[in-house]
Structure 1
Amino acid sequence: MATDWLSQYNSHLDIRDQRESIHRRYIDAYTALADRTASRTLPLITKTQAQPPTSSRSSPAPTSSSPAPSDPSDLSALRHQLTTSNTARTSLTTQLTALQSAHSTLSTTLSALQSQHATLQRRARDLETRVRDRDHELREKSKLVLSVQDEMVALELALNVAEEKTRVAEERVREMEGEVRRVKDENEGLVARWVARVGVEAREAGIDEGTDFRGRGG
């Protein structure tokens, strides 16, 4: 990844800084010696290039036996640039460390959120399963209620039919009872008329009404 080489580069720079910090006094002494040597040996190029060419008839310009010292401001500028670069590197390293820490925190948060998301998905599936089971149970109960209602309607119809048959039977019984009473009344009337007629005929025949005819043989 892109951050791997940058991390390795910064790690090597840290190792170098740690190694140099051990020998800091020697490095500073060598740097001071190098600065002094450079200031003594480097020629003053700008001044030499700025001199106009002399005529062949003129005498040559006198030269110094020792070289001109270098401008110390250049060394200070270089050292300032080096310090600025080190400061920028340190700032970038700090920012990189902060970004890596934030990345680690975000990765941990992402893992936690993914775990929570998986848990919520499992709970959602469980709830969906429970809802489907509850819907199935409610449908079965609804079917049972409808079946019971149909059975109650059928029983009610059968009861109405039975009540109607009972009412018709009771009416027929009442009619038969009335017919029986009528026939009985008719029979009683017939018997009464027959007895009266027999009595009349017996009196006309001179038969005593108290005579018992059952004792006679045939």
Structure 2
Amino acid sequence: MSESAWPEVSAAVAAAPYPAEVLPPDPAAAERCLTALGMSTRSWLGAVVAHSGGLLVDHGWLRVLGSGSGRLPDVVTEANPAVGVLVVGHDVLGGQFAWLQPEPGVPPTVHYFGPDDLGWQDLEQGYADWLHAVLSGSLTAFYETLRWPGWQAEVSDLLLDQGIHTWPPPCTVEGKDLGVVSRNAIPMTELVSFHHEMARQLGQPDPA
């Protein structure tokens, strides 16, 4: 009988060095997502989808997508089949983590689209390795230049469909210090679209 990877994921959540919350799953939505993805719960991604509506990591700075929970969308809804992108998480600044296959015959890896450079970076980690690193404390160093004093309280106050729009944006010289820029909560869909539109204007390529 196949074994679920959820005990491993759950143990990593419990051992995280910063707050990590498991949102309750919707069984019907979870089954629909697993069918659409063609996955079992033996994989970490399948286990997250089956057993959670999503994960809120580090005071909610990172939202790992599962089967959806209230204002947080499910992982299938956020997919972009046209370019082979499965968005598996996003941060409060509108950055996206996507699991995709860079080329045929190569195992899929997680890529990050950052609001500071507006480009896709291959993290060279599979989904399980990426999520394990995230739950082991990697976010602290990863976002070192994109945080400001008191960010924890500001992020914790956000709704799950909101992000923080900064102006000037972090991709500009004037917007690098997020402690002195203007910061406002806006819908996450608007924030993501804003960054991707800027990327298109700059001629940045799609990840796939």
- TM-score bin (small chain): under 0.3
Q: TM-score, normalised by structure 2?
A: 0.16
Q: TM-score, normalised by structure 1?
A: 0.16
Q: Which structure's residues are more often helix, by fraction?
A: 1
Asked which structure has the greater RCO (Cα within 8 Å, sep 6+), the reply is 2
Report which of the two structures shows the higher radius of gyration computed on alpha carbons: 1
